Structure 1
Amino acid sequence: MPSFFPPCPHLPAPPDKMDAGALSAHGPARDADFYFTALTYGHYLWQSGFAARAVLSLDRALGADLQGNEAVLRDWPLPYAAQVWFLGHTPKDVFIGNPRVHFQHLADRMNEPRREQRRWRIWACWGLSRVVLPNLPDDPKHAVREPTFAEISANLDRYGIPGERALWESVIAIARASFTPSDSTS
């Protein structure tokens, strides 16, 4: 596989060839196997130079129906660190869209199943985008109340899997230490 972007240390190594059929092969199942495939496909897209599509694949992984005790989570925790990697390592000339607006829209329009869990995970990604890319504007045409980081933490604790809040908070702390306004793109 030609590698346009460096490998992400937070995701499983992808095969040389992969396409969206890998996700659809799971049918309606959104289990641990789907989760692993979504992570792997996201990494494949990333290394192929498709930053925006890679972010979308991590969104899909975050929508998996996991209880927290799945073996895959020991090796590949929820991809908050991978989202930070993608947001912080996308070259300025590569399309990634406006992740702040993407996450804002997705969180506000989330449907079942597990609406609240999935919604707060996406708000968590929105929070990561605010730290890594603080100069990105919101969508002024989309009236939504953006949550505080404390609200995100509390709701990850309420709706997430065991340890999810602590994972997200540790990734936020690392992102805050690693990215300064001069590091971010607008």
Structure 2
Amino acid sequence: MVPCPHLPPARPGLDWRRLHAFRAAERRGEFYFACLEYAQALWERRLAARALLCLDRAFGADLTGEEPVLRSWPLPYAALAWMLRATPPDVFLGNPRVHFQHFAGRMNEPRREQRRARAWACWAIVRRLRPNLGGDPHHRIEEPAADWIEKRLAQHGHPGEVTLWRSVLLHPAEPDGARN
């Protein structure tokens, strides 16, 4: 598939071992970049659902917002939106709306509130771009409004994260020639 322009290029032969190396390590900037790079590799192999899960792991990296990697590769809201729009109909995407709903509703430490706000932010992007995907009616949780998500991102996210999320939510880029 056409590479996602919001992710770094994937090195040839990249596989699960790239993230497995961080199993016992601190999950900071290098882990974040590895998640983005591996998401690209999975995407290019037509593993869209797994690529989205890898973006999910990137959102959970322990970053302050000041890491140099974020200047080149901001939090992957744009990559999420691009992939949601670019996934061909014959490629398995799963139901990311249900995934983010469950993830937000069952979030644990570390950085529970930050990660929860980001899960709801991703959920909102999925709802906007893939309105055909239903939520899980058996998962009893109050789905938040955009104002609630924005407030939580402002409280617990990085400087400028609300602006980044809002720009993707309101004006997602069209994936030129992405559907294969």
TM-score, length basis structure 1 = 0.91
* CA distance, structure 2, for counterparts of residue 38 and residue 145 of structure 1: 30
Match of 1:117 among 114, 117, 120: 114
One-letter code aligned to 1:6: V
Residue ranges of structure 2 left out of the alignment (5+ in a row) = 176-180
- After superposition, the C-alpha distances for 1:44-82 in whole angstroms (9 at most, x for unaligned) are 000111000000000000000110110000000000000
- Preserved contact between residue 85 and residue 174 of structure 2 (Cα < 8 Å): no
Match of 1:24 among 20, 23, 28: 20
1:97 aligns with 2:71: no
Partner of 1:14: 10
1:26-175 aligned within 5 A: 26=22, 27-175=24-172
- Report how far residue 28 of structure 1 moved: 3.2
Look up the SS of the partner of 1:146 in the other structure.
coil
| Aligned length in residues | 174
Q: Which segment is superposed worse, 23-32 or 114-123?
A: 23-32
Residue ranges of structure 1 left out of the alignment (5+ in a row) = 180-186
Partner of 1:183: none
- After superposition, the C-alpha distances for 1:21-49 in whole angstroms (9 at most, x for unaligned) are 11121233110000000000001000111
* CA distance, structure 1, for counterparts of residue 52 and residue 19 of structure 2: 15
Q: RMSD between aligned alpha carbons? A: 1.3
* CA distance, structure 2, for counterparts of residue 165 and residue 124 of structure 1: 9
Look up the SS of the partner of 2:147 in the other structure.
helix
Sequence identity of aligned pairs in percent?
A: 55
- Report how far residue 144 of structure 1 moved: 0.8
One-letter code aligned to 1:143: R
Higher relative contact order (CA 8 A, sep 6+): 2
* CA distance, structure 2, for counterparts of residue 136 and residue 14 of structure 1: 29
